Amino acid sequence: MIATHGRSFWILDDVTPLREVQPAAAASSVYLYKPAIGYRLYYPDQVDTRPPSGQNPPPGILIDYYLAADAPKGPLTLDIVDSNGNAVRHLTSVKPQQAEQPPEWPDEVHPATTLPTAPGMNRFVWNLRYDDPVQIPDAFYAGLPPRGPVVLPGNYTLELKYNGETHKAPLTIRADPRVKQSLAGLQQKFALSMEVYHDQDALHRAVNDIRDFKSHAPGSEARSLVRQASEIEGILMQVNIKGSEANLNYPGMLNEQIYSFAGLLDDADTAPNAQEVETYSTLHNKLAAQLSRWETLKKTKIASFCARMHAAGQGGSSVSACQ
């Protein structure tokens, strides 16, 4: 911190890179700094930044790296893995080509998803969450789109790849020191959040699969199959929502219900209560029934339909349900 006799002061939020000696940086096109110890915190999804207001610290783990000015241009990737070598988050400098829900709330905080690649020092703020589940294009939600759970406290590894080089750095994440609950309860809540996360991913993949089949299934012969697939789709998600507040006009289906439930689990570092466990069981069983219906439809009637398409030379290889 630097001050000028009480009139003003400046705070450098993270001096960790300044303390690190990097003799290999001069001979490399990229250098990854060891991040400071991080803490498992819940960051708000909405922050009022309108004056008069100060600027909050970045919401997450600060990951700093250096890129040489004369380095060949190319994609930069960052993988975060846990102590067992399991993938947690994969990030890249290539901006994803996917539609985003139009911002409707001025104070909503959208976490960064693309790595910067400017010559010199770069910083990425990781929000401590797993990769997002597969998304449904053009789906609307009351807040941010579905996302991965917050990681557990523990040891992780950063793997930065650029220009044929791989650089690694350890990362330690500790529990919120203000929380006095046992780690066992948090582990139970995390396990439940991961189950919900996998359910969301499976639901979204099924909806995308159904929509792909519906958009490619030709002719009147497929009309009955499209109708059956649409019935399953309508149970999996509310197909009439065209805006973030349209849930006031239409009932939430499984996708909206599971989305809301996932958000409720980000409440505290405690074990899930009996109501949360029961709610998950109910939603999971309903989802499993619809996923089973879709798989059965694909393996029977749609498989027969696809076989006839291939035999007639009408293609079908571009339809995911026919593969």
The string of pLDDT tens digits covering residues 47-105 is 777 777 677 778 899 999 999 887 667 899 999 999 999 999 999 999 877 766 666 66
Residues 22, 160 within the same domain: yes
Whole-angstrom Cα distance, residue 3 to residue 10?
6
Residues 19, 166 within the same domain: yes
What is the torsion angle, in degrees rounded to the nearest 10, for the CA atoms of residue 99, residue 140, residue 138 and residue 95? 20
Residues 129, 242 within the same domain: no
Domain that holds residue 34: 13-174
134 within domain boundaries: yes
* Rounded mean pLDDT, 248-268: 94
pLDDT at residue number 175: 94
pLDDT tier, 149 (very low <50, low <70, confident <90, very high otherwise) = very high
Residues 148, 36 within the same domain: yes
Cβ(101)–Cβ(165) below 8 Å: no
Our measurement of the distance from residue 191's CA atom to the centroid of its chain's CA atoms, rounded to an integer in Å, reads 17
E strand or H helix at 32: strand 30-32
Domain of residue 103, CATH code: 2.60.40.1930
Domain end among 174, 206, 235? 174
132-143 pLDDT, tens per residue?
Answer: 999 999 898 888
Whole-angstrom Cα distance, residue 47 to residue 132?
22
91 within domain boundaries: yes
1 within domain boundaries: no
pLDDT at residue number 320: 63
Give pairs for 91-100: CB < 8 Å, separation 24+: 91/115, 91/124, 91/126, 93/117, 98/135, 98/137, 99/137, 99/138, 100/145
Residues 50, 153 within the same domain: yes
Q: Is the pLDDT of residue 26 over 70?
A: no
pLDDT tier, 109 (very low <50, low <70, confident <90, very high otherwise) = confident
* Rounded mean pLDDT, 262-278: 94
Residue 318 exposed, middle or buried by CB count within 10 Å (0-12, 13-18, 19+): exposed
Q: Residue 5's CB: how many other CB atoms inside 10 A?
A: 6
Q: Worst-scoring range by mean pLDDT, 19-23, 214-218, 228-232, 282-286?
A: 19-23
4 within domain boundaries: no
Whole-angstrom Cα distance, residue 168 to residue 155?
13
Whole-angstrom Cα distance, residue 89 to residue 67?
21
Question: Which of 27, 40, 54 minimizes the C-alpha distance to 152?
Answer: 40
223 within domain boundaries: yes
**Mean pLDDT score across all residues of the chain:** 87
Residues 163, 192 within the same domain: no
pLDDT at residue number 43: 86
157-214 pLDDT, tens per residue?
Answer: 999 999 888 999 999 999 999 988 889 999 999 999 999 999 999 999 999 999 999 9
Q: Is the pLDDT of residue 1 over 60?
A: no
- List 80's β-bridge partners, or say none: 89, 158
Question: pTM for this structure?
Answer: 0.88
Q: Is the pLDDT of residue 6 over 90?
A: no
Percentage of the residues of the chain whose pLDDT score is greater than 90: 58
Domain end among 149, 174, 199? 174
pLDDT at residue number 142: 84
Q: Is the pLDDT of residue 297 over 90?
A: yes
Domain count, the chain: 2
Whole-angstrom Cα distance, residue 268 to residue 208?
33
Domain end among 123, 149, 174? 174
Return the beta strands (E) in 95-211 as ranges. 120-126, 154-162, 165-174
Whole-angstrom Cα distance, residue 255 to residue 205?
12
Q: What is the CB-side half-sphere exposure of residue 296 using CA atoms within 13 A?
A: 8
Residues 91, 157 within the same domain: yes
Whole-angstrom Cα distance, residue 124 to residue 158?
12
Residues 199, 165 within the same domain: no
Residues 233, 139 within the same domain: no
220-237 pLDDT, tens per residue?
Answer: 778 999 999 999 999 999
Q: What one-character DSSP code corresponds to residue 253?
A: -
Residues 140, 90 within the same domain: yes
Whole-angstrom Cα distance, residue 306 to residue 322?
6
Question: Which of 135, 275, 79, 131 minimizes the C-alpha distance to 192?
Answer: 275
Residue 317 exposed, middle or buried by CB count within 10 Å (0-12, 13-18, 19+): exposed
Q: Is the pLDDT of residue 118 over 70?
A: yes
How long, in residues, is the chain? 323
